Amino acid sequence: MDFKVDRRRFLVGAGTAVISIPGLHPVLAQGANRDTQGELAPELENVKALVFDTFGTVVDWRSSVIAEGMKWGKAKGIQIDWAQFADRWRLGYRPTMDKVRKGEIPWTRLDDLHRIILEELLKEYKIQGLTEEEKVSWTYVWRRLEPWPDSVAGLTRLKKKYIIAPLSNGNIALMANLAKFGGLPWDAILGSELVKHYKPDREVYVSAAYYLDLKPEQVMMVAAHKGDLQAATSCGLRTGFIYRPDEFGNGSVGKPDKAQPGDYDVVSASAIDLAQQLGA
């Protein structure tokens, strides 16, 4: 069953707030992952850290890139379909990343992969005359993505109870700047650059437990994408799903993944809801 979540309903306080979603059971402060005494489900008692997919799960990449594109285009007199441009940029992400994974090109940071794709798009859209400084700035739009409205509040709550960190394909400089821009309160930055592998390679997920000095079952992978969570499960991590219905808009990149309670250790409607279910 299709279901939609009004973003404004994400911004709810703790306590007795209820998030009701067609197709999902109502989620309460003492909800699906807490027993009748309010205790956390036994399989989640030992979780010490939460690691997050970032693009699409924590930040709204599509709307952010479109907004900057429209502003930039107006200043430069460039009239193109910026939604299409954003989608094409994102569509180039996985094929280019797969070239690294398959050894067709050497290890390359995501910032640099974004630049490679941008150069192709500039030719395709016949955008000429940009300085190197302008190209770098436009590449770094991926360092200036707005968080979803619930992300900072939810992460701040979770941070009080858990170690929190991104486990992203983004390189460290990208993720550090993104955190600074959006006020994301990470305790550490983990991800692909530390092991020179891209998700869904096993090395990325295993590294989260290694670098945090924890067992895999003490780490929960949180994502809006089933493939990410399935790969994490295969490596022994716990899993938390956040539904992001607006990630792809009506674009060509994909459709939002959906989940029902029981599909993962936690199924939530927002970062705030996730914190609520975990007792944070």
Q: Which of 152, 217, 219, 138 is nearest to 184 (CA)?
A: 152
pLDDT in tens, 44-69: 999 999 999 999 999 999 999 999 99
Residue ranges of the chain assigned to CATH 1.10.150.240: 62-143
Torsion, Cα 214 220 223 225, to 10 degrees, reads 100
Angle between helices 93-101 and 82-91 (to 10 degrees): 20
For residues 58 and 186, what is the distance between their CA atoms, to the nearest angstrom? 12
| Helix, coil or strand: residue 27 | strand
Taking 70 as the threshold, does the pLDDT of residue 28 lie above it?
no
Contact 47, 162 (CB under 8 A): yes
46 secondary structure, DSSP code: T
pLDDT in tens, 146-191: 999 999 999 999 999 999 999 999 999 999 999 999 999 999 999 9
Angle between helices 61-76 and 82-91 (to 10 degrees): 130
pLDDT in tens, 219-256: 999 999 999 999 999 999 999 999 999 999 987 888 99
Residue ranges of the chain assigned to CATH 3.40.50.1000: 17-59+146-277
- For position 82, what pLDDT does the model report? 96
For 30, half-sphere exposure in the C-beta direction (CA atoms, 13 angstrom radius) is 5
Q: Tokens in use for 1? A: 């069953």
For residues 12 and 19, what is the distance between their CA atoms, to the nearest angstrom? 9
Is 1.10.150.240 the CATH number for 62-143? yes
Mean pLDDT (whole number) for 111-133:
96
Global confidence as pTM: 0.86
17-59+146-277: CATH topology is: Rossmann fold (3.40.50)
Contact 239, 232 (CB under 8 A): yes
